[in-house]
Structure 1
Amino acid sequence: MQPMLGVDIGTTSTKVVLYDANGQVAASANHGYPLYQDLPGMAEEEPAAIFKAVLTGIQAVLPQAKQPIGGISFSAAMHSLILLDDAHQPLTRMYTWADNRAKAAADRLRALPQAHQLYLNTGTPLRPMTPLAKLAWLAETKPNLLAKARWVVDIKSYVIDQLTGQLVMDYSIANATGLFNLQHFDWDPLALKLAHIQAEQLPRLVDTTAQVIGLKSALATKWQLNPQTPLIVGASDGCLSNLGVNAIEPGVAALTIGTSGAIRVVTDQPQLDPHGRLFCYYLAPHRWVIGGPVNNGGNVLKWVRDTFFDGASYATITQLASQVPAGSHGLLMHPYLNGERAPLWNADARGAYFGLTAQHTRADLSRAALEGIGFNLVQVAKLVQQLTGPFKSLQATGGFANSATWRQLLADIFATPLVIPDSFESSCLGAAVLGWVSLDQVTDLTAVAQLVGHEQIVTPDSSAVATYQRLYPLYQELTTAYQPLFGKLAALMTKKD
């Protein structure tokens, strides 16, 4: 293999990893950018700031390559949306998946008679996160702005266009827009009509291993690269995270907890939830990722830190939580501090502690929060298993995998062995593997098994498993009881405001 750059354009930062000819990490860089949340529901970022982070990251790691690189392969967060003018300049900031202002538009889409057919066409739940919902919202609230848009793109399409002058979008990112027909591998006419755009406004569709040739000469000179160095378009970060932790075989699920979280399993053909609660996204030929995303992951632990611990380190908090027995002395937490996608798909969802007594401490509150995140992900996992069958192992990725307390707690809550690969930045590694496949330097995606490195296996503790299996039905019962109350509370607060 030739060295490969894996570039992961994330929600809060861009990671760039240089892999050497043996697939080992040779260098890495990580550059962040601001998230603008000036209005209720807003979650926007500046495309120029993200592009600068990409350039800075590539510039930082390239000089450490000991031989010419084979290519630059990309991963990116799903559901991003940018409107461009004729000159390919942004008319808007980037709307991220977390921007919730399209809630009313999404509600109206779900109320349409064609709503379920639209989900079956696209594999994407009809929710505010999607570009489809955001375009419908813009058509209602800012029709003049939408009318000015010559191009409707995602952040990866924008970055590759800035690097090469070519607008393309891979099937994986397109699949997550809500505008892509997963049966026909083309834009869906019904979705386009509801989004108030034309197919001609969207980038050219390509496979995830497609190469874009023609790096702009100024960048090629600056980076001392051949202008013909291929840029591999790559896929979405969630799909590539599965690949990067070697969770691409039947029964092997990827469990991710970063700021948010997800459960994902790879199958050989599309599988759709009859109730539209799970996504089905393309990764590569005969590789489809089935799963559900949650809004509430590490951001809940951050809230615990900021609220109860005055900014103490996460290590301190998890160490305290480790001293509390499974079940947190009878305290349950529903972690819906940021609304929720799967399993509730309810932007009005709110968090709650249940079972509080005067004897509970900050340590109990902390452990209950970690357990609540886990229980919520178990609810998602059970939906996935209805389609794909039971899990034989969970491949762990995300910041939580660095904590022994979190690792053991999740193995116990899932009652399933938790496997932690040594692979660094799983989405970057997944992008790199796609790059090597594109260049015919590995035969197929299964080559990742030789690249993820040593794996640690966390075995469930039978005593803790028994406790969690007694508590989980109560957690579910409370979830069901809370659901009709979320909307009532939201309506009261809206009226008050």
Structure 2
Amino acid sequence: MIVGVDIGTSLTKAVVFDEDGSSIASACTPSEVHHLPGGRVEQDLDHVVATVATVVREVAATLPEPVSALALTGQGDGLWLRDEAGAAVHRAISWLDGRANSVLAEWQAAGVTTEVFRRTGAGMFPGCAGALLSYLDTSEPEVLDRAAVAGYCVDAVLQRLTGEITVDVSDASLPFLDPATRRYDDSAIEACGLTHRRGLLAEPAPAKSVFRLDAKGAALLGLPVGLPVTAGPFDLPASAIGAGVRQPGDGILTAGTTLACQVLTDDPKFDREGEPAGMFLCTPDEREYLHAMPAMVGTAGIDWVCALLGISVEEIDPLLANSEPGARGVRALPFLSVSGERAPFVDAGARAQFSGLSLETGRAEIVRALCESIAFAARHCFEAAGLSGQLYACGGGVRSPEWLRIFADVLGRPIVIPSDPGVGARGAVLTAAAALGSPFDRDRWAANSRTVEVRPEKVAGYERGYADYQASLSAARGLWRL
């Protein structure tokens, strides 16, 4: 009875799985996300912890046996500042935040982002801890002075439940960790001008670490003191584990609020002269890494176009089904995030565009152009990450059969969809089971899936569409300004 908890940006979920990897109990509750002027996006740590308590208590009440362990995963990046007791000294700054746009632009011009990338393989973006720490160090240093730890969502919740100050190696991977040594690179920290804040970075926990609920955490969740708790990996690598990614070259597409493209590798080497974007995420297996390209495009763009056109998300599939590939000449660049793009290139000034519009353009063409452009962005990311094997997919976007077919056709390969949507929680539970010495049969868990095949007759048209996308992107990058 391991309860997997996935603490997302807008939703916290708790799931318990049977021996075949099917969920037997689940609960979810929304989280508050505060969108403020200046591109600021924040969350309240107390509220997030309360959502965890809500879903854990709800699931535990339905189980036929006592809970045996708690497995945490959740959103990564951002900046969750706490004191020694785990209390927030500033509202948590989300990975969606854009307040450090100017910091990133200055670092790109000065070569700081290139220097950090060459040392750690991490491409920084406005919502990553490095840029946010630098912004606060200049603008609000008193906030950092009050903090004991500058961490992330999962370790912030862990501290409130166990009293432990630590961080999973996956979260620590961006932007200061050398993936080969799994230790912080002090020269990368120095390049960002943050050496004097080095003490805020918790040391990564050893592989297979297990923590225990303290009295406060036990009272909050209604579970016994001393219950085993694992924390991490965060949601991107947890989803890869939960979906079944196991062989080097295999990849996973997470079509969520943003578009996370990851490829498993057993080689921590990276192109140090390449464009400083993406990241190498350490996994629970010290011999494996995930080359991640987490683009800022995704279902948030679909929500935007639905609101703009006055349609519901349920209308997306019929519009796609009744339109032709190529959207009658309408093309799009999908960069709608206020903080620009972070993979497979980094540009805080990246913005969306539609072209080829006319008086004959309808809703179907606009929707299809956006959906196709997000699929082209996924291909761009996977080419940079080195996808060569089986591709898996998860996230809210996979609930659209028509959009999934577009992804398969654009990427030119079949896509495996796990039957249970809670792959982040699945990955957390699998990680916890291994740490506790009671691993599940991963082959049985991976068997519950379906495959979306490529439609050969669509591939050539999408090859032309992808070439047009790349040409439009190259032209637009010279025009973007903050």
Query: TM class, shorter-chain normalised?
Result: over 0.9
CA contact (8 A) 1:35 1:45 kept: yes
CA contact (8 A) 1:82 1:95 kept: yes
Q: CA–CA distance in 2 between the matches of 1:391 and 1:148?
A: 47
CA contact (8 A) 1:33 1:50 kept: yes
2:448 equivalent to 1:451: no
2:71 equivalent to 1:73: yes
TM superposition score normalised by structure 1: 0.91
SS at match of 2:478: helix
Q: CA–CA distance in 1 between the matches of 2:368 and 2:153?
A: 37
What letter matches 1:8 in structure 2?
A: D
Deviation at 1:239, TM superposition (A): 0.7
SS at match of 2:167: strand
CA contact (8 A) 1:110 1:126 kept: no
Deviation at 1:108, TM superposition (A): 3.0
Q: Give the match for residue 439 of structure 1.
A: 436
CA contact (8 A) 1:82 1:152 kept: yes
Q: CA–CA distance in 2 between the matches of 1:143 and 1:218?
A: 31
Aligned runs of 1:10-159 on 2, under 5 Å?
A: 10-112=8-110, 115-159=113-157
Q: CA–CA distance in 2 between the matches of 1:64 and 1:464?
A: 47
Change (3 A) 1:382 1:22: closer
Deviation at 1:370, TM superposition (A): 0.7
Deviation at 1:480, TM superposition (A): 0.4
Q: Give the match for residue 259 of structure 2.
A: 261
Q: Give the match for residue 331 of structure 1.
A: 330
2:463 equivalent to 1:469: yes
Q: Give the match for residue 370 of structure 2.
A: 369
Q: Give the match for residue 302 of structure 2.
A: 301
Q: CA–CA distance in 1 between the matches of 2:325 and 2:426?
A: 34
CA contact (8 A) 1:272 1:278 kept: no
Q: Alpha-carbon deviations, 1:274-305, whole Å to 9, x = none? A: 32222111012212000211111111111111
Q: CA–CA distance in 2 between the matches of 1:113 and 1:352?
A: 28
CA contact (8 A) 1:257 1:398 kept: yes
Q: Alpha-carbon deviations, 1:61-90, whole Å to 9, x = none? A: 012222233311111211131222344321
SS at match of 1:242: helix
Which has the larger displacement, 216-225 or 253-262? 216-225
What letter matches 2:368 in structure 1?
A: R
Aligned runs of 1:133-282 on 2, under 5 Å?
A: 133-176=131-174, 178-193=175-190, 194-213=193-212, 215-217=213-215, 219-220=217-218, 225-273=223-271, 274-275=273-274, 276-282=276-282
Q: CA–CA distance in 1 between the matches of 2:38 and 2:447?
A: 43
Q: Give the match for residue 361 of structure 2.
A: 360
Identity %: 26
2:415 equivalent to 1:418: yes
What letter matches 2:329 in structure 1?
A: G
CA contact (8 A) 2:414 2:454 kept: yes
Which has the larger displacement, 165-174 or 200-209? 200-209
Q: CA–CA distance in 2 between the matches of 1:118 and 1:174?
A: 14
C-alpha RMSD over aligned residues: 1.9
What letter matches 1:202 in structure 2?
A: L
Q: Structure 2: any 5+ residue segments left out of the alignment?
A: none
Q: CA–CA distance in 2 between the matches of 1:167 and 1:382?
A: 37
Deviation at 1:219, TM superposition (A): 4.6
What letter matches 1:450 in structure 2?
A: R
Change (3 A) 1:88 1:188: same
What letter matches 2:283 in structure 1?
A: L
TM superposition score normalised by structure 2: 0.93
Which has the larger displacement, 354-363 or 193-202? 193-202
CA contact (8 A) 2:209 2:230 kept: yes
Q: CA–CA distance in 2 between the matches of 1:259 and 1:175?
A: 21
SS at match of 1:481: helix
Q: CA–CA distance in 2 between the matches of 1:211 and 1:476?
A: 46
Q: How many residues align?
A: 475
Q: CA–CA distance in 1 between the matches of 2:100 and 2:222?
A: 44
CA contact (8 A) 2:404 2:452 kept: yes
Q: Give the match for residue 494 of structure 1.
A: none
Change (3 A) 1:453 1:423: farther
CA contact (8 A) 1:14 1:30 kept: yes
Q: CA–CA distance in 2 between the matches of 1:437 and 1:59?
A: 24
Q: CA–CA distance in 2 between the matches of 1:434 and 1:87?
A: 27
Deviation at 1:121, TM superposition (A): 2.7
Relative CO higher for 1 or 2, CA cutoff 8 Å, sep ≥ 6? Answer: 2
Q: Structure 1: any 5+ residue segments left out of the alignment?
A: 491-497
Q: CA–CA distance in 2 between the matches of 1:407 and 1:79?
A: 27
SS at match of 2:36: coil
CA contact (8 A) 1:423 1:453 kept: no
